[in-house]
Amino acid sequence: MTCKVFNEKIADLFDVNVNAQDKAEFERHMEQCSECRTAYEELCAVYAMLQPSAKTQHELDEISTNVTFAKSPTKKRKIWWAVAASVIFLLGVFVGLNNFFTSSATAASQNSIALFDKAITYVQNVGSFQMEVFVRTNPEENFFDIHPDKDFIKSRVQLMRQADTVLYRIEREVEHGRVIVCDGKAQYMFVKNGTRYVKGNLGSDFLGMYGNLLYPDRLLQMQKFAIELAGDNTVLRSETDSTIVVVVEGTEWDDNLQEIYATGHRGRNHVTIENVFSKPDGLLRSVKYWLHKDGNKILVLYTGAIQYNPALSRKAITALPDEYSHPATEGGVYDMTKVSEIEDEELAQLQKESPVQTAARLLAAFTSGRAEDVKENLAGYVGNIDKINKRMKGCKFRELRELKVEDYVGVYIVYTLEYPDGATSQMHLALRNDNPRHVWLLDGGL
């Protein structure tokens, strides 16, 4: 074996199975060639460092096999996550999975299907609509989760179509509640009373399960499939002088991972959805959603009356939340749509930095009044360069250390700042590198 061949084939030594004869050849070469041996040993050192620790492996084994894991607090979180996922009915996965009970639709449900079809077509073509939605959840949370043990939180949903674009606004009517706005080009998420907001492109998943309330045709479509495809879902239809009520009750897939692994099948949850249509136009007017849990039927979501074609204006839909204090500059924006322009070489340097190194570089620039030199790390603060320079020029900083804060995706760098007059104060910078380029970006603290 030559050095060249050795280098070409060295990966084989790190494969799952190593051919014994090959291995012997490698070893013979290494006996004679210290250079290749060193190279191999260094690779082994890195390889060893990457191996899962026994602790982690144990933890993972527990997760994947131990059924009593359910009692731990994390599992509790999961149960509610599971409940949120059980609203998969709203998310559209339920129906496709309910395949073991496929049977042809009964004549009774055929009527309802026609009703759904009509309502779907209407909603898809409506110019605008609005509704109030009440969901059991945490007031200040995002739009993803349902918590059956919490009170109802009211949100207002508004949507309008303009030419090819769709504008919408979803607003939690509580203090510090979140507001999502789409102006047809981008989505924004604000916190009322806040000064920062998130901007994302149209594909960003800000809406969570509200996505299907915003497009009620999807919700109807799913129920239609549920009726058509799954014979064990029942459909009750009743009429009054002015309404047709269709109640779809059925099973949906539970989210219990242990059960999936143990049996290869998912468990089920029992849910009920009530759709009220008006006569004679057949429009969807309201929706209620119940979860059946431990013998109880819990109402977890309902809408107020859905209004079609109300007079909505672009201005009203895209307005800043009333209580939102808009920053004077663009400094409050965390813009996920922007890709910073950094040369590859420079990028590689930035990626190599530890958060402490990045913080030190930022602070050095700030305190010498040259914040513009580090703008590639400033993310949303890039509009605050002058302010930063003014405030920090002439200060000194010391004692940087990293602090990991639970629930925060990045890290805090704590430091002591000494002002020109000698006064000091304890400060911090928040940095995060969960961006596509893995660069530490300034995310708070100033």
Binding site for Zn ion (CB under 5 A): 3, 33, 36
296-303 and 284-293 strand pairing:
antiparallel
Among 19, 76, 151, 261, binds other proteins (CB under 8 A): 261
Which helix (H) or strand (E) segment holds residue 307: the answer is strand 307-308
Output the smallest distance, CB 55 to other proteins, in A: 8
Q: Give whichever of 33 and 186 is closer to Zn ion, judged by the CB atom.
A: 33
Q: Does 194 bind other proteins (CB under 8 A)?
A: yes
> How far is CA 199 from its chain centroid?
14
Q: Give whichever of 59 and 151 is closer to other proteins, judged by the CB atom.
A: 59
Q: Does 294 bind other proteins (CB under 8 A)?
A: no
Q: Does 353 bind other proteins (CB under 8 A)?
A: yes
Q: Does 342 bind other proteins (CB under 8 A)?
A: no
Q: Does 311 bind other proteins (CB under 8 A)?
A: no
Interaction residues for other proteins, span 125-144 (CB under 8 A): 142, 144
Output the smallest distance, CB 95 to other proteins, in A: 9
Q: Give whichever of 34 and 238 is closer to Zn ion, judged by the CB atom.
A: 34
Q: Across the beta sheet with 424-432, what order do the strands follow?
A: 396-403, 411-418, 424-432, 441-444
* 51/127 Cα distance (integer angstroms): 57
The item of other proteins, Zn ion, none sharing an interface with residue 104, based on CB under 5 to 8 Å by kind, is: none
Query: Which 3 state secondary structure label does DSSP give 430?
Result: strand
Query: Which 3 state secondary structure label does DSSP give 77?
Result: helix
Among 2, 3, 76, 96, binds other proteins (CB under 8 A): 96
Q: Does 434 bind other proteins (CB under 8 A)?
A: yes
**205's tokens:** 């998943």
The item of Zn ion, other proteins, none sharing an interface with residue 48, based on CB under 5 to 8 Å by kind, is: none
The item of Zn ion, other proteins, none sharing an interface with residue 354, based on CB under 5 to 8 Å by kind, is: other proteins
Among 21, 32, 34, 53, binds other proteins (CB under 8 A): 53
- Cα angle for residues 414, 415, 420 (degrees, 5° grid): 150
Which helix (H) or strand (E) segment holds residue 349: the answer is helix 344-352
Among 110, 234, 329, 357, binds other proteins (CB under 8 A): 357
Q: Does 101 bind other proteins (CB under 8 A)?
A: no
* 402/413 Cα distance (integer angstroms): 5
Query: Other C-beta atoms within 10 Å of 412: how many?
Result: 20
Cis peptide before 436 (omega within 30 of 0): no
Number of residues that bind other proteins (CB under 8 A): 83
152-162 and 165-172 strand pairing:
antiparallel
* 8/425 Cα distance (integer angstroms): 57
Q: Give whichever of 8 and 346 is closer to Zn ion, judged by the CB atom.
A: 8
